[in-house]
């Protein structure tokens, strides 16, 4: 699935099952909550914190998909074409950082 197709699928789902988009502020709060859930799993599964028994069955991929879902909702309701935005962002990073990481001794 392309990013454009994902944006269209989310929009169609919202219109079919979700009644309407939550407002942007509500979705921003929801995005923050979902990112926190991803952070919790990563901190406990891959970091130094011990993983709680209740977190051991959490699906990291599903939590990441929740983040992507809300991000797509925000893009749709604010008129952002994520394909175009990502391409511009990659171009910016390539121009700005084309040698920076290659020359970073910390990464070698």
**Using one digit for the tens of pLDDT, what is the confidence trace for 63-83?**
999 999 999 999 999 999 999
pLDDT confidence of residue 58:
95
- pTM (predicted TM-score): 0.91
Torsion of CA 46, 48, 54, 57, to 10 degrees: 10
Q: Which residues of the chain have pLDDT under 50?
A: none
User: Is residue 76 within 8 Å of residue 10, measured between CB atoms?
Assistant: yes
User: Is residue 83 within 8 Å of residue 54, measured between CB atoms?
Assistant: no
pLDDT confidence of residue 37:
96
The CATH number corresponding to 3-81 among 1.10.287.1080, 3.40.50.150, 1.10.3470.10, 1.10.3430.10 equals 1.10.287.1080
pLDDT confidence of residue 76:
98
The number of C-alpha atoms within 13 Å of 88 and in the hemisphere containing its C-beta is 6
pLDDT confidence of residue 79:
98
pLDDT confidence of residue 84:
98
């Amino acid at each position: 699935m392309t990013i454009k197709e994902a944006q269209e699928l989310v929009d169609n789902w919202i219109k079919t099952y979700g009644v309407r988009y939550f407002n942007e502020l509500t979705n921003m709060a929801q995005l923050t909550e979902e990112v926190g859930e991803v952070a919790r799993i990563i901190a406990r599964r891959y970091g130094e914190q011990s993983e709680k028994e209740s977190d051991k069955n959490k699906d990291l991929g599903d939590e990441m998909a929740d983040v992507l879902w809300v991000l797509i909702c925000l893009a749709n309701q604010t008129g952002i074409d994520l394909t175009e935005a990502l391409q511009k962002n990659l171009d910016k990073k390539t121009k700005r950082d084309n040698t920076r990481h290659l020359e970073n001794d910390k990464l070698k």
